[in-house]
Amino acid sequence: MLFRVLGPLEVVHVDGRRADIPAGAAEHVLSALLLRPNTWVSADSLAEAVWPDRTSPSPAKELWPYVHDLCRRTPLFGETSARIESMCGRHRLNIGEGELDSIVFERLVHDGRAVLATDPQTAARCFRAAADLWRGTPFASLNTYHSRAETERLTRLRWAALDHLVDALVAMDHTAGSVTLLQALTAEDPKRERTWLRLVEVLTHAGRPIEAAAASRKAARVAGTPSWDAR
């Protein structure tokens, strides 16, 4: 993948070299374009992402040096075309198949869901591959309504993928793997009741009632959940 937004922004050339994207305005412009790939974005919208605390009197003029510099720093689109197109005060960042991690992430989750009921092994590979793409908070450098909404949506999708991964592991009778994953997830977000409940269920069904009861008590203490009857 050439563009990575599921964590700190990273851009990689086709030969593996990391692109040097300056922090600040240039990073914000590129992140805002990656938020809406293959879509024309107005200069006003980009200016809001770059300067959220002020209104630019001439956004197209102020943004142009950063857009021009990013054209030089980002990988070409195809073999010869500039990655970023500009027209009438609007800009578009072109993304091809498999070049943006957030799009690949969504496709993997979709593919895993499609086969979860019939082929849990393939589903598990999809969900694990999707989870492995996650490096941190998406679009963390932006603070706009659209960026916050997209970050929340992708975060919810990640947790759904991890829940599905547990389902796939359980369907394959991989109890140890599902317990290890659930324990890691309860450590990551101790307040998430769904994860604790799933851990208690998996331990109970695996014939490990003492561990299930301990997990139930810990959930009640840490997450404030009811103490489930682990039987």
Q: List C-alpha distances in Å: 118 to 127, 145, 148, 202.
A: 15, 39, 35, 20
Residue 200 above 90 pLDDT?
yes
Q: What is the pLDDT of residues 106-152, one digit of tens each?
A: 999 999 999 999 999 999 999 999 999 999 999 988 988 899 999 99
Task: Specify the pLDDT at position 53.
Answer: 79
Q: How confident is the model at residue 80 (pLDDT cuts 50, 70, 90)?
A: low
Give the residue-averaged pLDDT of 155-177.
96
pLDDT above 70 covers a percentage of the chain that reads 96
- Pairing type for strands 3-4 and 10-11 reads antiparallel
Count other Cβ atoms within 10 Å, centred on residue 53. 5
**74 with 19: CB under 8 angstroms?**
yes
Q: How confident is the model at residue 198 (pLDDT cuts 50, 70, 90)?
A: very high
Q: 113-148: buried (b, 16+ CB within 10 Å) or exposed (e) per residue?
A: eebbeeebeebbbbbbbbbebbeeebbebbebebbe
Q: Provide the pLDDT confidence category of residue 1 given band limits of 50, 70 and 90.
A: low
- Kindly report the average pLDDT of the chain as a whole number: 91
pLDDT at 60: 82
Which domains are delineated in the chain? 3-93 (1.10.10.10), 103-222 (1.25.40.10)
pTM score of the predicted model: 0.88
- Burial class of residue 89 (count of CB atoms within 10 Å of its CB; 0-12, 13-18, 19+): middle
pLDDT of the residue at 231: 45
Check residue 79 and give its pLDDT: 67
